[in-house]
Amino acid sequence: MSRLATGGQIDRTQRIPFTFQGQTYLGYRGDTLASALLAQDVRLVARSFKYHRPRGILTAGSEEPNALVTIGTGDQLTPNCRATTQEIYHGLVARAQNCFPGLRFDLMALNDLLAPFFGAGFYYKTFMWPRPFWRRVYEPLIRRSAGLGALSGVADDGRYDKGFAHCDLLVIGAGPAGLMAAQVAARAGLDVILADEDFLVGGRLNSETHEIDAMPASRWAVKTRAALAQMENVRVMRRTTVTGVYDGGTYGALERVSEHLPSGSHDAPLQIFWRIVARRAILASGATERPIAFAGNDRPGIMMAGALRSYVNRFAVAPGRRISVFTNNDDGHRTAYDLAAAGLQIAAVIDTRPEARALGDYPLISGAQVVGTRGRLGLRAITIRTAGGLQEIASDCLGVSGGWNPAVHLSCHLNARPVWRDDIAAFVPAEAAVPGLIAAGAAAGEMSTAGALKSGAHAAATVLKALGKRPVQLTLPRAEDAPMALEPFWHVGGGRGRAWLDFQNDVTVKDVELAYRENFRSVEHMKRYTTLGMATDQGKTANMGALAIMAEMTGKSIPETGTTTFRPPYTPVPLGALGAHGRGKGFAPERLTPSHALLGEMGAPMLEVGLWYRPGWVPHANERHWRQSCDREALMVRASVGVSDVTTLGKIDVQGRDAGRFLDRVYCNTISNLPVGRVRYGLMLREDGMVMDDGTVARLGARHFVLTTTTGGADMVLAHLEFCQQVLWPDLDVAIVSVTEQWAQFAIAGPKSRALVNGLLRRKLGVGAFPFMACGTVRIGPTTARLFRISYSGEHAYEIAVPARYGEALARLLLARARTLGGGWYGMEALNVLRLEKGYVTHAEIDGRVTADDLGMGRMMAAGKDYIGKAMSTRPALCAPDREQLVGLKPAGALKRLHGGAHLFNPGQTPTRENDQGHITSQCFSPHLGHPIALALLRGGRARIGQNILMVDHLRQVETLCEICPPAFLDPKGERLRD
């Protein structure tokens, strides 16, 4: 056991069993998977990406590049979980990734022997020939051998949620700076959200032995959190990583709600993706310790020096038996001091600075460097170089510290670049990098505890001032104020073997040197050529070292060399969380018609029309194919009567003194002279002269019209009318409101429709009364309804509208009455057949590229008035006779197949794009005529009626000779309508 006897912020009364690589271990509440494994002497936890090198735990935080594991069982697997942030829970099952057959013996480690061939960009050079092999052989091979964890291929059934939060101040990070800032702001009355990625509040305070106000710093953090939790205006969000910064003070944040609990024990989501909108933000994200590159620096047992303190101080874990530290700064000495104080044996502290001094009683070798390491599956010894030569030191754990990089990432998400500070040899956030965001604490380069507390308080005071609040006086707690003492040192030259920079993508110092030699010298080019910083950790531990080396080689300074671009997310965000609420039907809400339940009872399959659900057809028991139902329904309407729900069509109330004038301007035909009690077909054009939508206009009163739109065009038309009213002609007295949802509306079509309608009405329609295109108010029992004599089928037909609450009852009544007359319900497919037989258009024809003239409705465009689209539609090119015009098509040869979307060619010409004459917009089998029919847009079509044209479906390899005919296949004079 490597668990220390005392100390740590773990609950030793709660022992938690978990499994790694099939073996069960025990940890304590408060452990991460990494700390629990280290406590069990498990040091080898992963294999590297490219070379399958044995890897251990490098860090104690979210920057971890190595210790990625797959968590879960069966097909519910979460790959690439960082063992350093994953809390253990009862029954957690984790396994190593990227190794076969096992972690200790991995066949793919063969790659490591072939490393000389696998340098940066190797595949661009190695796999050049033969060319076709790249896609079929090389790339699949590389893809299979590359990559870390894999998804199971089965959909993730975990629960995810998303949310929106708002606050005056978002504090990112709950270390000393963040806690202090939150306190100052909250006491002054601001609404504060304090977010931290850890499950313990306190940040580095939990990993150090510092004191604040004469109490252990971690206890101060607990006390402060408790005080904040008492305040109603503070929301402390633990396990919440702010992952991205967006415009307008919007921040993305991922809250890990229940990933630390056994699944199945609750209904809570695994994660919530928050959008936090904050008036101000304080970036107190702390700093990340950076490694020094040296030969063989990737062995399990080599860790960050600060992480060693975390494991000892926070988790009470001894990370090794004989521990060394390699550092270029005083902070590395703290590790030796704390570890020695915990009773661990310090083999040596190797400090690159000749003048370095020991903080305590441990062997110090100053002015020295680590040049090599030994130990295949775990560190056994290090080789150091001093003025006196090389020396080997037996050591199973090495802490490395190259200094600390402020976590500037979020400050760069809106494209600002960080600025260099020589005193700490690191980049800090630029001022005003993100509007409304101030950096504080270590994130701003304040590396001491006292400095962080002060800077947090100061940042909060600045925010208070900006928001016009009076700060409440708070005494700053007392804390250590050690200055950062460091000598920049990035990598050890001259050692034997590879020195790793990016552990997760297996990029070495040599790769960066190669990139330099091959002239990929800009950091952005170097990044892409070597893939440095492109793994899931985004190079948090790697980037600085690499750009320092590039700076060295180009002879430029580090700030001149610059950083690569920081992009969201700060840490990986699962797609499940981003897509929360969007799975399955969550993708779009459903709009249901009043007849939905009735049609469900009849087993009608539903089609989606926008968000609406409409029945495709209503199958009878003996029908096996949709066409059987469709043909029957279409013939039924022509022979007796059919009922269909048309509630989905847009209905817009237009009222006011100027309603007629307004409609004259938005429709190309004249509306204002429509008598009360009559309906007119209307065509709306866009500004560019193309048809926007069609529908009916009913005049219910002198100043009251009701428009119908197509189902799909309803929103667009309403928005268009509102724009016209509010922006173009605000002087007109007109009020527009959608009444689509108020009315349940049903089409009743067929020769027996009048009988059906009359059976419902209190006052029957007399013979000759209520002619085609009439409208008015009627009574069905005590209910007032609107009746329209309009038709989309070519039959004598009505539409009847009742307040929606009566919709379901009316649907059932209509169906029952229709059945007694030999009729029934008809669905969308039959509706389509009926309108095609009659040559009526829908958005298949009104595709945004046709004019009124193209549709054969040129005469509707009123000459004596102005309207939207008039200027353009009267230009010669938009009414030229050779434009594609609406025609009907029917098969003229032996083959009777007509296909929607197929193109038309002159018989005898080669069917290529240059000879294209048009295309079929809609087609169906007409049960009335006994053969397929189609509507098409054909070049100069109206003048070619009676001629033949060749339909070619290039996708299905079908050619059908067709006869061009007028669009109306049935009753061209409209006698059935008017009957």
- Would you tell me which residues interact with another protein (CB under 8 A)? 29, 159, 161-166, 191, 199, 257-258, 260-261, 266-269, 272, 275, 277, 581, 586, 588-593, 612, 647, 653, 655-656, 726, 730-733, 735-737, 739-744, 760, 780-783, 802-810, 813
In angstroms, give the least distance from the CB of 674 to another protein: 19
| Number of other residues whose CB lies within 10 A of the CB of residue 581 | 11
Report the distance separating Cα 199 and Cα 30, nearest Å.
Answer: 9
What is the separation of C-alpha 793 from the centre of its chain, rounded to a whole number of angstroms?
A: 43
Residue 465 burial class via C-beta count within 10 angstroms: exposed 0-12, middle 13-18, buried 19 and up: exposed
Query: CB 692 → another protein: shortest distance, Å?
Result: 22
Cβ 589 to another protein shortest distance, Å: 4
| Cα 380 from Cα 393, distance rounded (Å) | 9
CB of 645 to another protein, least distance (A): 11
Q: Which is nearer to another protein, 423 or 590 (CB)?
A: 590
The residue whose two tokens read 């007694």 is 820
Are 634 and 833 in contact, with CB atoms under 8 Å apart? yes
Smaller CB separation from another protein, 264 or 768: 264
- Identify which of residues 41 and 161 has a Cβ nearer to another protein in the complex: 161
Closer residue to another protein in complex, CB, 602/813: 813
Token duo for residue 446:
């304040």
From the list 500, 499, 503, the residue with the least C-alpha distance to 148 is 503
Closest to another protein by CB, 363 or 586: 586
d(CA 132, CA 720): 53
From the DSSP assignment, how many helices (H) and strands (E) are in the chain? Answer: 24, 50
Burial letters 87-101, b for 16+ CB under 10 A, else e: bbbeebbbbbbbbee
Give the DSSP letter of residue 234.
Answer: E
Retrieve residue 112's tokens.
Answer: 């490591």
- Nearest Cα neighbor of 646 from 564, 740, 553, 546 is 740
Q: How many residues does the chain have?
A: 979
Q: CB 726 → another protein: shortest distance, Å? A: 7
Nearer to another protein, 236 or 323 (CB): 236
Output 101 or 248, the one with its CB closest to another protein.
248
* HSE-CB of 215 using CA atoms within 13 angstroms: 9
Least Cβ distance, residue 299 to another protein (angstroms): 35
Residue 585: CB minimum distance to another protein, A? 8
Q: For the packed helices 217-229 and 176-187, what is the interaxial angle rounded to 10 degrees?
A: 30
Q: CB-wise, 161 or 552, nearer to another protein? A: 161
Q: Kindly report the number of other CB atoms within 10 A of residue 776's CB atom.
A: 17
CB nearer to another protein: give 676 or 735. 735
Choose among 655, 728, 735, 733: nearest CA to 698: 655
Quick one: CA torsion of 787, 792, 797, 800, rounded to 10 degrees?
-20
Exposed/middle/buried for residue 328 (C-beta within 10 Å: 0-12, 13-18, 19+): buried
CB of 808 to another protein, least distance (A): 5
The residue whose two tokens read 């087993």 is 603
Closest approach of another protein to the CB of residue 255, in Å: 10
Least gap, CB of 266 to another protein (angstroms): 5
Task: Give the whole-angstrom CA distance, residue 254 versus residue 243.
Answer: 7
Residue 476 or 809 having the CB closest to another protein = 809
- What is the closest distance, in whole angstroms, from the C-beta atom of residue 163 to another protein in the complex? 5
**Token duo for residue 398:** 């090495």
Tokens 């606050």, located at residue: 167
Evaluate whether 679 touches 775 at the Cβ level (below 8 Å). Answer: yes
Q: How far is the CB of 788 from another protein (least distance, A)?
A: 17
Nearer to another protein, 373 or 740 (CB): 740
Token pair 């190794």 is found at 99
* SS3 state of residue 23: strand
Q: How buried is 482 (Cβ within 10 angstroms: 0-12 exposed, 13-18 middle, 19+ buried)?
A: middle
Could you tell me the smallest distance in angstroms from the CB atom of residue 164 to another protein?
A: 5
Residue 293 or 804 with smaller CB distance to another protein? 804
Distance CA 796, CA 790 (A): 8
Give 371 or 697: the residue with its C-beta nearer to another protein.
697
**349: enclosing H helix or E strand:** strand 345-351
Other beta carbons within 10 angstroms of residue 601's beta carbon come to 9
Burial of 113 (0-12, 13-18, 19+ CB in 10 A): exposed
Is the Cβ of residue 472 or residue 609 nearer to another protein in the bound state?
A: 609
Nearer to another protein, 733 or 979 (CB): 733
CB of 196 to another protein, least distance (A): 15
Between 2 and 672, CB nearer to another protein:
672
CB of 252 to another protein, least distance (A): 13
Coil, helix or strand for 53? coil
Residue 261 or 340: which CB sits closer to another protein?
A: 261
Please state the closest distance from residue 258 (CB atom) to another protein, in A.
6
**How crowded is the C-beta side of 16, counted as CA atoms within 13 Å?**
26
* Residues facing 95 on adjacent strands: 70
Distance in angstroms (rounded) separating the CA atoms of residues 630 and 835: 13
Cβ of residue 25: shortest distance to another protein, in angstroms?
20
Contact predicate 899/951, CB 8 Å: yes
Query: Cis peptide leading into 65, omega within 30 of 0?
Result: no
